[in-house]
Amino acid sequence: MSSPPIDTDLIDRLNDDSSNKDDVNNNNNHNNSNNNNNNQDDAKANIMRILVATDNHLGYLEKDPIRGDDSFNSFEEILNYAVQLKVDMVLLGGDLFHDNKPSRTTMYRTMELLRKYCLGEKRVGISFLSDQSVNFTNQFHVVNYEDPNFNISLPVFSIHGNHDDPTGEGGLAALDLLSVSNLVNYFGKIDDIDDINVYPLLLSKGETKIAIYGLGNVRDERLHRTFQKQNVKLMRPNEAKEEWFNILVLHQNRIAHNPKNYVHEKMIDGFIDFVLWGHEHECLIKPQPSSIGEFHITQPGSSVATALSEGESKDKFVGLLEVHKSQFRFKPFPLQTVRPFIIDAIALSDSGIDATQQNLVNEYLDSKIEEMINQAKEKTKGKLNESMLPLIRLKVDYTGYSTLNPQRFGSKYAGRVANPADILLFHRKKPTSVPKSSDPFEKDKAPVQDKIKVDDFISEFLGNTKQDRLSILSEADLHQALYNFVEKDEIDSLTKLVDLSLTNSQRVLKTNIPLSNLNPDFISNQVQVHFPFRSGFETNSGSNGSDNNNNNNVTMHDPNEFEARSDEEDSHAHDHHGHGHSHGNYDQDSDSDVLDIPNLMTSPTHTTTTTTSTSRSTPTPTTPVSKGTRKKSSSTPATPSTPIAKTPRKRSAKTPPATKSQDIISIDSNDEDDEDVSTPTNSKKRGKAKQATPTTRKRTKKTKNSDDDDSD
């Protein structure tokens, strides 16, 4: 596909270096114009521009003759936006690929697009300051634009999602292939799920310094447990902690399907300024203040519809994040290559048609489908996707009526809609006489499409009687192995589980254990030690291992703080997501894009509260010196390499920022060096306690309203 056209007028305003050309004939005005332009150039030299997107799902329905190109078209439009907007980098929030093992066709087309848009002679204007051997797991340990063997003009940074997570022998992901080929900078890989240390990417441009924390997808229940044990630590720079703009990129559930399978905003450290939230497919691109009021969240959603749900039918956007020191501005850009999608719902009982007159029912459904097709045409009139066949989904409540064959009904719309086989979705009202269960784990709370899972059958068949229960294999291990077999295409996962379980069992049986030691505590400890996934199976399964216990003595969060929201609170979720906030400028319709730093860019507002928490005793990690030759110099002059002290720097405004030739910034997991800082207006306001401030904080309880549709 040729490069998709985008809003060139808006881009011209963004990249216009002179705004007073009409005053050239007047010398005084001309001088003033030059001064203004110089000031703007100085400001732009300190502004880092980041294009954010997530859930591209490349390869989705790649063999479908109608929808096979949809994911690639949208991804190319995103890269085209990045080039036209002259961004410094692209930041992706996971699920770049739809399949855990993408086909060769998908890999080829992805690498082709990345090579087309990301390679070139254009100089990258950002400096990489952190230890690259810690940030990147491939054997080269170097950010791609500093590799002397490649000319990278547009760096792309990405974490993995639940679709393209590391699995199999060696724990490799599809992103590792793009990383080793130097097309994508893959970060956020987790080594130990029970003790997660997240080391940030430290980047600078002029006087702006950004720390990007990447957390690749982990099973939500497992991550929730690790958060509760306060074993998720975001490591902060040793020096000048308040000078960094902190971004968190994660790919987890934002909606509580049950109390322990999502990430609550209270779990996120208070020093974070901006969160890029992947995994949820509904596009909520406008940055929203968190429920605790200390950072902003953008949820770009997917760039291709992978489910015929309400959330996927909304307009899709990507966002331009501009950061100047501690201030940010956000601007959305619509994706025009997305296939139009119209969804609606009707009840046959409202039609007044006799249930025995099936022909009249069919005519009624046909008239509704025609109305939706015309609505799709009107929606895309004059747009790039005008010629694309629309996706149509009509939910039909057939209570009191009989159903018809959806495939046969949809065949008449072949060539007019993109999904003729599943236009109709029939459902009936639930009996009103059945009282609603108060069980917080009730599955009806989760808006999932298919509620019957293989895991349910395993639990049913293995838990009915005592003799049905497994004695050597663990039920949790069997769940995970079967999941890897079906979802991750790991054909040897069951064989590995059996072999590993037998090996561990034989090793335990060969151990001479004194009879005096055979007490419940000893047996429980042996089960922990020889738990199959902890012994090695989990290591080869990537970051999404099975659940297991951790005996570490840690301070637990109050579990009541993370309970699921009530139905009454959920009813206001759409209103919460649909309204904006004044913190951080959300500039969508501005006619002028000259960067007036004090007025157009607003600091993230941090609520000043007294927080209490147990300080971590994690020792300050030592980061080795980064290796490798660096290819390109930044826009600032190089300075002699100087070790950086652990105490915060006291630097005047005229001191040049760190450049690539300087030593890497050391990282600290504790906040013991922090002091109470009072900053002027339009700067960061940190809420700190008088005591030592740990990285993870226990904040005042405040419930967040949220509502979302199905997500992948």
Please write the tens of the pLDDT for every residue from 500-542.
888 877 777 777 777 777 777 777 777 666 654 443 444 444 4
* Residues 259 and 166 both lie in one domain: yes
**pLDDT score at 257:** 82
Does residue 559 fall inside a structural domain?
no
**pLDDT score at 637:** 42
Does residue 433 fall inside a structural domain?
no
Which among 691, 704, 703, 684 is positioned nearest to 272, based on CA atoms?
684
Helices 475-487 and 454-462 cross at an angle (nearest 10°) of: 150
* Residues 322 and 372 both lie in one domain: no
* Residues 527 and 628 both lie in one domain: no
* Residues 287 and 326 both lie in one domain: yes
* Residues 375 and 475 both lie in one domain: no
What is the number of alpha carbons within 13 Å of residue 44 lying toward its C-beta? 17
SS3 for 342?
Answer: strand
| Boundary residue ending a domain (524, 541, 558) | 541
Taking residues 233-237, what's their average pLDDT? 95
* Residues 365 and 261 both lie in one domain: no
What is the number of alpha carbons within 13 Å of residue 458 lying toward its C-beta? 15
* Residues 482 and 407 both lie in one domain: no
More confident residue, 564 or 115: 115
**pLDDT score at 14:** 53
User: Containing domain of residue 48, as a range?
Assistant: 8-337+573-668
> Which pair of structure tokens corresponds to residue 321?
């994040």
Taking residues 380-408, what's their average pLDDT? 94
Return phi, psi of residue 483, to 5°. -60, -45
Does residue 131 fall inside a structural domain?
yes
**pLDDT score at 89:** 98
Does residue 264 fall inside a structural domain?
yes
Does residue 235 fall inside a structural domain?
yes
**pLDDT score at 511:** 75
Q: What is the mean pLDDT of the chain?
A: 75
Would you call 163 a catalytic residue per the annotation?
Answer: yes
Taking residues 195-223, what's their average pLDDT? 96
More confident residue, 708 or 165: 165
| Boundary residue ending a domain (493, 526, 541) | 541
Does residue 554 fall inside a structural domain?
no
* Residues 324 and 356 both lie in one domain: no
Question: What is the number of structural domains in the chain?
Answer: 3
Residue 585 has pLDDT above 60, yes or no: no
Most confident of 12-21, 399-408, 496-505: 399-408
Residue of 57, 98, 160, 163 marked catalytic? 163
CATH of the domain at 402: 3.30.110
More confident residue, 691 or 103: 103
* Residues 376 and 268 both lie in one domain: no
Q: pLDDT confidence of 6, banded at 50, 70, 90?
A: low
* Residues 234 and 296 both lie in one domain: yes
* Residues 505 and 385 both lie in one domain: no
Quick check: 294 and 684 in contact, CB under 8 A?
A: no
SS3 for 272?
Answer: coil
**pLDDT score at 233:** 96
Does residue 134 fall inside a structural domain?
yes
The 10s digit of each residue's pLDDT in 68-81 is 999 999 999 999 99
CA distance 91 to 211: 13
By mean pLDDT, which of 466-470, 603-607, 612-616 is the weakest? 612-616
| Boundary residue ending a domain (366, 401, 417) | 417
Q: How far is Cα of residue 315 from the mean position of the Cα atoms in its chain? A: 18
* Residues 150 and 215 both lie in one domain: yes
> Which pair of structure tokens corresponds to residue 453?
């899972």
Residue 558 has pLDDT above 50, yes or no: no
Q: pLDDT confidence of 149, banded at 50, 70, 90?
A: very high
Does residue 381 fall inside a structural domain?
yes
Residue 645 has pLDDT above 90, yes or no: no
More confident residue, 41 or 429: 429
